[in-house]
Amino acid sequence: MNDWNFQNLSDQELESLMQAGASSLPPDDNLVEEITPWRRAMKRALLGIALNLVTLNFWGLNYLFPAIGTLLLLIGFRALRRENRGFALCWYLALVQATIRYACLILNASVWQEELYRLPWMQPLPYVLTLVSFVQVLGLRTGFRAARQKAGLDPAAPGTTALVVWYLIMCIAALVNYTGILGWILIIAYFIILRTLWKLPRQLEEAGYAIELAPVRISDFGLGAWISAVVVVGIACCCLFASGYDMDWAPVPEGEQTGLEELREELLELGFPEAVLNDLTPEDLTACKGALRIVVEQDDYAVNEGRSVIREENGYRVHTREYDVNELRITGVAVELPGDRERWRIIHHFEWVVDPGFHGTESMQFWPTYHLAEGWSKGSEATGRVLHDRDGVTYTAPYHYLGEQSYQSTSMFWGTQQNHDLFAAFSFPSKGQRQRGYVAYDTLENEEGYIIDSWINYTHQNRWFQYPAQTAMENRMRGSWNLSGAFSLVQTAIQFNPNDPADFSDYGYTTVTE
């Protein structure tokens, strides 16, 4: 019998074999302790509680540990659910935990997760999970007391009582946002409590305590595989079908700029780029009426990783990165308008001259002239739209979001900062050509001597899978500069001195036409 692989036996087969005995000699005491179904189920439940209370915010362990812990709670307590009311309560609460946690694991793969979590009925979820975990600890204490009493032992189970007290202290510390030395004391106490709890099943066995495991229709491995499959399929569906915004695409009306031909000619003569001019709405085109002069800055940018090049220069090896393809063309247009105060209309236009593949969301963050310089003020609200061509037809849609947003960001250089910026958020279909768009706004002069300095930070999503999912706009608000992850950032600006444009054109920033 020592040659048998006891680990491959089901709990029911193992218990029957142990109760019925066998003709050969029984295994030694250490092997019996290792494979006792009661102890195995109880230790799985205890390990599940431990993993559910562990928070490690790196390598995805803050998702993996609770997911595994919840599965161990399900497997452990379903075997014990008929033993007493305490363990039965733990089993039902494990079902609640599993429903919430695995649903959230799937939801986290959707770009809508943050909006959903902000819904009123979703706000209490963290408190519900905390309450469920606390009641589960109470149920564990009740279950152990009943088991010890049944075994003829003192009902008191110091480890479970200590865990209840520990959990209460942790909840209070979390509510007051405590970060002192008490946290380290609680961590040490936690491991001491776990060690005490780990000994309780053995004490019960030594007192002759035995239970009949509740029958199950699916094996432990089968339950884990089924749950894993549901979560994986759910995450895959979110990545494929809930990774972008719903955009209201419609064909551009035929002859949209009819009646504005004369204005178009005037702007073209002043040097307005025709490709940008063609994309303007009639309202934005009319807003350029009476233009006095136009400044244009245009360049192409790469969003690919490029290739590493090593050169020998003056006896040194120089490492550079070169890009054979520049996919994104960004054009900045500044139109001076008549008025009592100096007034400029700034247009930031982008066009994908090479399709990089669109996998979810895109965003643009703007630092308008009035945002960066005291010499300018806001002259109008931002306007704009996105466009693309498909099967010979041009389609357009308003931005999913276009406006100013207040947010908090954290960086290793500047720490935590409060920000207020202009954002545009949108998605493109996977099929189409010449994906493009623009944002326009007016700025007014407050004081002479300040330059025009308007920045655009374009964030592009590189791949379908990211976990947890975030939008390009959320990625930028977090202050991310990661160029090799799920997003790439292109940053550029239109900059010139209105009183001396040639000063900036010498450095290649602008092309000036008067």
Q: What is the DSSP string of 54-95?
A: ----STTHHHHHHHHHHHHHHHHHHHHTTT-HHHHHHHHHHH
Greatest mean pLDDT range, 153-162, 173-182, 295-304, 496-505: 295-304
d(CA 503, CA 514): 15
Q: If you average pLDDT over every residue of the chain, what do you get?
A: 81
Model pLDDT for residues 345-378, shown as the tens digit of each residue: 999 999 999 988 888 899 999 999 988 768 899 9
pLDDT score recorded for residue 508: 38
Is the per-residue pLDDT at 398 higher than 80? yes
pLDDT score recorded for residue 419: 80
Among 40, 92, 33, smallest CA distance to 220 is for 40
pLDDT score recorded for residue 413: 53
DSSP string, 189-219: HHHHHHHHHHHHHHHHHHTT----PPP-SS-
Q: Which of 14-23, 47-56, 144-153, 486-495 comes out lowest in average pLDDT?
A: 14-23
Model pLDDT for residues 178-197, shown as the tens digit of each residue: 666 777 787 788 788 878 87
- Model-level pTM? 0.76
Greatest mean pLDDT range, 255-259, 285-289, 320-324, 340-344: 285-289
Q: In 3-state terms, what secondary structure has residue 253?
A: coil
- E-assigned strand segments in 279-411: 293-301, 307-313, 316-322, 328-337, 343-352, 362-367, 376-378, 383-390, 393-397, 401-411
Model pLDDT for residues 117-147, shown as the tens digit of each residue: 777 887 788 888 888 888 888 888 888 888 8
pLDDT score recorded for residue 13: 53
Model pLDDT for residues 419-443, shown as the tens digit of each residue: 889 999 999 998 889 999 999 999 9
What amino acid occupies position 391?
A: D
Among 307, 301, 247, 235, smallest CA distance to 464 is for 235
Long-range contacts at 163-168 (CB < 8 A, ≥ 24 apart): 163/137, 163/193, 163/197, 164/134, 164/137, 164/138, 166/190, 166/193, 167/53, 167/133, 167/134, 167/137, 168/134
Question: What's the token pair of residue 54?
Answer: 């562990």
Across the range 195-218, mean pLDDT stands at 75
Greatest mean pLDDT range, 14-18, 61-65, 295-299, 502-506: 295-299
Distances (CA, A) of 481 to 287, 356, 411, 412, 427: 35, 19, 10, 11, 21
Share of the chain above pLDDT 70, in %: 84
d(CA 138, CA 421): 48
